[in-house]
Every structure is written in structure tokens, then in C-alpha cells.
Structure 1
Amino acid sequence: MSSYLRAEDDLDAEAEALLERGWLIRDQEGRLWITKAGEEARLSLKRHAPAIRAHIHKGIDDADYVTTLKVLRQLIQNTSGSM
């Protein structure tokens, strides 16, 4: 999972959103645990992710998609630095 985390990610805010949805609970020691609803949501996403991705990428060549991501990342990097 560390390969998905970035320095600017706010894990506390993400956890809070999942707590509010009822997908996580916090125990007395402050540890986070997935709930039954959270596990159902995780399994649903896993099951539907390929179809969602196929729909989003319909008509877009893989090479074009990769180029677009590179350009967008560079735009973000260019605008997040000091001027």
C-alpha cells in the first residue's frame, strides 16, 4: 500500500470519511477496523472495478491514456510549486 501513498495524502481525513459512512469503526485503543458494511463495499468495488474501468476508458487507446496521465501529472507538479 505504501506505493499508493503520497506525502500530501491526508489519511486522517480519509479514515474519517470511512468512519462517517460506517465502513470503519475505531476501538478503544484508536485502531481502525473494517465493518461488515465496509467489507461489503470493498467486495462490491472489487467485483465492479473492471467494468467501471472499461466504461471510463472506452474509446481511449492505452498509449493515449498513459500520455494524458503524464501530462496531467506534469501540470499538477508545475502548479503546486512556488512561483
Structure 2
Amino acid sequence: MDYSHDDAGLARQPIGYWSWAAHDATVTHIRAALAEHGLTQPPWWVINQLIGAEEDGRDRAEVVTFLSGYLDTGADGIEAAVDELLDRGLITQDDEARLRITPEGRALRDRAFARVARARAEIHEGIADEEFVAALKVLQRMIHNVGAKAYHH
């Protein structure tokens, strides 16, 4: 990457392009890491919602509602992810629509988690936490400035 632009030149760069380019590059990198374990993002998100809820499980509708706003996946996309995980035996659903991760699902999640952690480290290499936090605050402010909303749990 060419970092030779002076600050005044960088200040005039289009945020739409750079935010899209950052999204595309980082999400592609994360998706490639998950694909190494036979996962896409929506099932990954569902699995992570079930960690720590092995005994009582989580209500399916609650999980779907909670995740449906992630990357414009929508409720249908999350429902499909739940069904995929059920079909693969990575989670179970009881008669009260409570979801629980299976031992196989837990083992897959643990392996994939280690790979995703490596991908995150690769993405964040050379970026101090303070710089990352500052970048997020700037993006959040820009979202607010145009009257939009974004959230991440």
C-alpha cells in the first residue's frame, strides 16, 4: 500500500471508498479463515451465541432477532444458518425451541475460534488499540452524522 500521500491529501480522500475497501478486505479475510473450517459467517455467529448456554440453551427466536441485523443477513438468513447447524449436528433444538451447542459444535467452534483470532491479529498487525478505538469512534460519528444507525454486540 502506498502511504506517500500527505495528511492534507489523505483528508480529501473519499470515506465511502475507503470504508468499503476496508470492509471488503477484512470480511473476505475472515470468511476465508472460517471457510477453512467449513463455516460461513451466519452459522459462526449462531454458534457463538450458544457458547456458555449449554445447560439452559437459548431461545431460537431470541437468537434470530439478536443476529438478524448483522451485515444485512436478515431473519431468513439467520434461520437458514440455524437449520444448517441443526442438519450438521453442531447444535440441537428441543421441543421448546431452545438451541444448544453439541460437543461436535463446541470442538468446531474452538478450532475455528483459534483461526479467526489469528485472522484478527493479521488484520490488526501494526495498529495500536488506541488507533483502532479512534478509527471506530470516527466511523461511528460519521454514521451518526448522516442519521444512520449501526450496532454490534
Same fold by TM (over 0.5)? Answer: yes
SS of the residue corresponding to residue 125 of structure 2 reads coil
d(CA) in 2 for partners of 1:76, 1:20? 33
- Cα offsets for 1:49-74 (capped at 9, x unmatched): 43222101112232221111111122
d(CA) in 2 for partners of 1:15, 1:35? 18
Q: Which runs of 5+ in 2 are unaligned?
A: 1-48, 50-63, 69-74
RMSD between superposed Cα atoms in Å: 2.9
Q: Match for 1:73 among 136, 140, 147?
A: 140
Identify which range, 38-47 or 50-59, moves more after superposition. Answer: 38-47
d(CA) in 2 for partners of 1:31, 1:15? 15
Dislocated runs of 4+, deviation >3 Å: 12-15
**Which structure ranks higher in relative contact order (CA pairs < 8 Å, sequence separation ≥ 6)?**
2
Taking the TM superposition and a 5 Å limit, the aligned residue runs for 1:3-14 are: 10-11=65-66, 13=75
Q: Which runs of 5+ in 1 are unaligned?
A: 2-8
- Cα offsets for 1:3-59 (capped at 9, x unmatched): xxxxxx833637522332343221112111113442123211332343222101112
Assess, with a 3 A threshold, how the Cα gap between structure 1 residues 48 and 38 changes in structure 2: closer, same or farther. Answer: same
1:80 partner amino acid: A
CA contact (8 A) 1:19 1:25 kept: no
Equivalenced residues, count: 74
TM-score, structure 2 length as denominator? 0.38
